[in-house]
Amino acid sequence: MKALPTISAIEALQRTKASFLDLRSPSEFNDSQLPSSVNLPLLYDNERHEVGLCYAEKGEQKAIELGHQILSGDVKAERIRRWRQWAHSVSEPILFCWRGGLRSQNVQQALHEEHVVVPRVEGGYKAIRRVLVDLLAGQDWPVIKVISGPTGSGKTDLIKSIQHSIDLEGLARHRGSVFGAMAPTQPAQASFENSIAVELFFRLQNAFVWAEDEGKLIGRRHLPQLLKERMSQADYVEVEECVEARAQRLIGDYLGFKPLSENDISQKQVEVLEQFDRIERRLGGLVHRKIRSSIEDAFAHQQRSGEISEHEAWVAELLTRYYDPMYAYQNERKQGRLLFRGSYQDVKEFCCQSD
């Protein structure tokens, strides 16, 4: 087999325009993946299982022969077509398998025979993961600064408007609230960590980076321990917005209320109540029943009139009864220095001037 180009894990990460072809099986990919990667496996899970059994029972050579048997004829041609098509669709293709072994070497050679040259990561995904894990456990980071404020004050929008920032909720695919679980499925924990580490890797030359104030969990995903420690000690700005403005923002952005058909409204009600019922114990039975009744009344009004204004009352009560006391408690425990406090717009101007 002709020697084809390789690239180290660090060099691969340094290429900001790189797109990664992950040749591992779908289950491996789902357990832990890189941002900017696409999974077009050499072997699917059932095929990899067959080859693994053959390796255990008959040895490496027989397993290799079985792999070639599985990947032959039309199956091989179709997979090569898909790899080639992907390579031509991106500006800087890079491929890897688990450890940079036979899977990625065979695909790299197959593409080379099609006159498509794609570098292979030395050590594969495992080497890249090691770089990212070491980064998350290390000390060589930009200074973390935090945007704080009660729920609904627009912290996520601020993060998205600032150049040197990391959108942790975006990476976790969760809005970090009772209703955050209505968002798409969250990434695996390792994939979430990889995304954070890549964001930090790209910002190692920055003096500082902004992040939204978060707890230990965003949905079901844990923040890396060192990042959480840095955030708890970080200097911060605080957004102050009235309850009414925050309720309106939550209705528009968080809950995704918009003109809906009757069926869509009914489905939205089911989703909202399902998530709301998860905090019954924290609210207490009486308060929970009161707010739940308001939710049902607001949806009934929306069904009749198409208007969403009735939702403001229960959202505002949820803020004052549940979120604001929790925020006040957490705020008392902050160890960092308050840099600035003001309205959404004032904080935005302060952060952009500091950026």
pLDDT for 258: 64
Whether 306 is in a domain gets the answer yes
Instruction: Examine the domain organization and report whether 286 and 207 are in the same domain.
Output: no
Strands 208-212 and 165-166: parallel
Whether 31 is in a domain gets the answer yes
Q: 285: how many CB neighbours lie within 10 A of its CB?
A: 9
Catalytic residue from among 54, 97, 351, 352: 97
Q: 306: how many CB neighbours lie within 10 A of its CB?
A: 11
Whether 328 is in a domain gets the answer no
Residue 192's domain is classified under what CATH number?
3.40.50
Instruction: Examine the domain organization and report whether 217 and 262 are in the same domain.
Output: no
Domain boundary among 80, 107, 134: 134
- Whether 97 is catalytic is yes
Instruction: Examine the domain organization and report whether 13 and 41 are in the same domain.
Output: yes
- How many domains does the chain contain in total? 3
Instruction: Examine the domain organization and report whether 151 and 104 are in the same domain.
Output: no
Whether 1 is in a domain gets the answer no
Instruction: Examine the domain organization and report whether 12 and 90 are in the same domain.
Output: yes
Q: Which two tokens stand for residue 44?
A: 């699917």
Whether 88 is in a domain gets the answer yes
Domain membership of residue 308 as a residue range = 244-323
Q: Which two tokens stand for residue 141?
A: 């980071």
Domain boundary among 134, 168, 194: 134
Instruction: Examine the domain organization and report whether 216 and 349 are in the same domain.
Output: yes
- Helices 124-137 and 225-232 cross at an angle (nearest 10°) of 30
Instruction: Examine the domain organization and report whether 39 and 77 are in the same domain.
Output: yes
Global pTM? 0.91
pLDDT for 256: 63
Task: Note whether 121 and 127 are within 8 A (CB).
Answer: yes
Instruction: Examine the domain organization and report whether 60 and 158 are in the same domain.
Output: no
Q: Output the tens digit of pLDDT for each of the chain's 355 residues.
A: 568 999 999 999 999 999 999 999 999 999 999 999 999 999 999 999 999 999 999 999 999 999 899 999 999 999 999 999 999 999 999 999 999 999 999 999 999 999 999 999 999 999 999 999 999 998 788 999 999 999 999 999 999 999 899 999 999 988 777 776 655 689 999 999 999 999 999 998 888 999 999 989 998 999 999 999 999 999 999 999 999 999 999 888 766 666 667 778 888 899 899 989 999 999 999 999 999 999 999 999 998 988 888 999 999 999 999 999 999 988 888 878 999 999 999 999 999 887 6
Instruction: Examine the domain organization and report whether 12 and 101 are in the same domain.
Output: yes
How much is the CA Rg of the chain, to the nearest whole Å?
25
Q: Which two tokens stand for residue 197?
A: 């580490």
pLDDT for 2: 64
Whether 164 is in a domain gets the answer yes
**Rounded to whole angstroms, how far apart are CA atoms 111 and 94?**
12
Task: Note whether 190 and 284 are within 8 A (CB).
Answer: no
pLDDT for 267: 87
Instruction: Examine the domain organization and report whether 32 and 130 are in the same domain.
Output: yes
Domain boundary among 112, 134, 156: 134
